[in-house]
Amino acid sequence: MVFESLVEKVVSRIQEELDTTFEVEASGRHIHLSQEALDHLFGPGYQLTKAKDLSQPGQYACEERLTLVGPRGSFQNVVILGPVRSASQVEVSATDCLTLGVKAPIRESGDINGSPGFVLVNGTRSLSVDQGLIVAKRHVHMTPEDAAKAGVSNHEIVQVQVYGERPLIFDDVVIRVSPQFATYMHIDYDEANAAGFKKGMRGRILKKN
Ligand SMILES: [Zn+2]
């Protein structure tokens, strides 16, 4: 009987762990394009070619790659994520900024007002965009159900403990809630390296108050 109750305890503990933690994904540098930018770089009416679905429903990595050019350095083969958006945007890490020679602000995706511009190159075609270079603010995408379970709301700032090889607590993590989302945390490669990231790493929200 004692053994049975111990097993039950362990099982309910494991279930609780799964309920309250989520997978953390590391995002490399990537490009979002408007249809206008796509037309300019690939030709009028060009359609992106899906290479791989991402964890967020409807989002995908494309076959097409571009060169991202900064004042000091550049990156080749930067992946484009689809579908097209209303405004072009490039997300890089703080380390990438040093290579490019430009200082990008830490922003939520889509919040690009006043951010630096960038240059994209596809073979002989190039496009200069006057704003949209950002370092993505670390965030947790959540379904409304998971947000309710965790007791957090859209745009709330929390801490997240991650269980990598170098466990750490990220502060200043923004919660983003939408029925369009699947529940995953997104960090960049600088943050992933700091945490000893491996695929499948999980995180847990620590409420600040
Ligand atoms: Zn994300």
pLDDT of residue 208: 62
Which helix H or strand E contains 13, and what residues bound it? helix 2-20
Nearby residues for ligand 1 (ion, Cβ within 5 Å)? 186
pLDDT of residue 113: 97
d(CA 149, ligand 1 centre) in Å: 20
Strands (DSSP E) contained in the chain are 21-27, 30-32, 50-53, 60-69, 74-82, 89-91, 106-107, 118-122, 125-129, 133-136, 139-142, 157-162, 168-177, 184-188, 202-206
Question: What are the average pLDDT values for consecutive 10-residue runs of the chain, which has 209 residues?
Answer: 76 73 97 98 97 97 98 98 98 98 96 97 98 98 96 96 94 97 98 97 86
d(CA 130, ligand 1 centre) in Å: 23
pLDDT of residue 1: 59
d(CA 26, ligand 1 centre) in Å: 9
pLDDT of residue 14: 73
d(CA 2, ligand 1 centre) in Å: 45
Which CATH code of 2.30.130.10, 3.40.50.300, 2.40.40.20, 3.30.700.30 fits the domain covering 138-206? 2.40.40.20
Per-domain residue ranges for the chain? 29-136, 138-206
